[in-house]
Structure 1
């Protein structure tokens, strides 16, 4: 990853975070949840990945990303369910741990069942 790529990710991601924060303070605050899920990291990430791998490898990476979508749902579901009982920081921590657990299970499933990326 070069300096231009790092700066681009930093600036685009930071800008999105500021916009989501501002939107959360308006009467349309729930929409900030939609924008928080805007795939800017995915967009920028795939832009740079696409420049560094061939189309076959990009196809495999994209397929695995689609299989990985439930990990985001697990993060959000966990966050939603634990908010009433725990502080914001604790809720985020538990949600990240749930994401890591789901991601780990996905990696194991891919290794033994899906075999995406095995060339």
Structure 2
């Protein structure tokens, strides 16, 4: 590996860690920080750091958010693959993939919350 390659890996990996941390700190929706923590190399470190600072319950929330981010990552990979095949534009495909990753991850969180609300409503109606 040459120095330039190491520099870019450090730059992008470090940026992912910083983005994950800043997002988790600034936004009231902690699952968003977990979604950003879904970058595979970042996820392990993010869960470990949260666990050391805030305990297992908070680490579990971050890990749960990363599940949605990783499913979104799978959708991102498919989007980039198909976009590249049709457009041959790697930069546009990359941007489009990131947008679909984030949107699909948020959609999964929305669906989870919607399902919880419906379950709570049904329990109230039964009693």
Give TM-score, length-normalised by structure 1. 0.57
Distance 1:41 1:49 in 2: 12
Give TM-score, length-normalised by structure 2. 0.54
CA RMSD in angstroms comes to 2.9
Provide runs of 4+ in structure 1 moved above 4 Å.
Answer: none
Residue 110 in structure 1 maps to residue 74 in structure 2: no
Name the structure with the higher helix share: 2
> Number of aligned pairs?
85
In the TM superposition, 1:1-119 aligns within 5 A as: 14=10, 39-86=40-87, 87-114=89-116
Structure 2 residue runs without a partner (length 5+): 1-6, 14-38, 118-127
Structure 1 residue runs without a partner (length 5+): 1-10, 18-37
Q: Deviation digits for residues 23-78 of structure 1, max 9, x if unmatched?
A: xxxxxxxxxxxxxxx82211222222112212122223323323442111000000
Distance 2:99 2:69 in 1: 15
Distance 1:16 1:107 in 2: 26
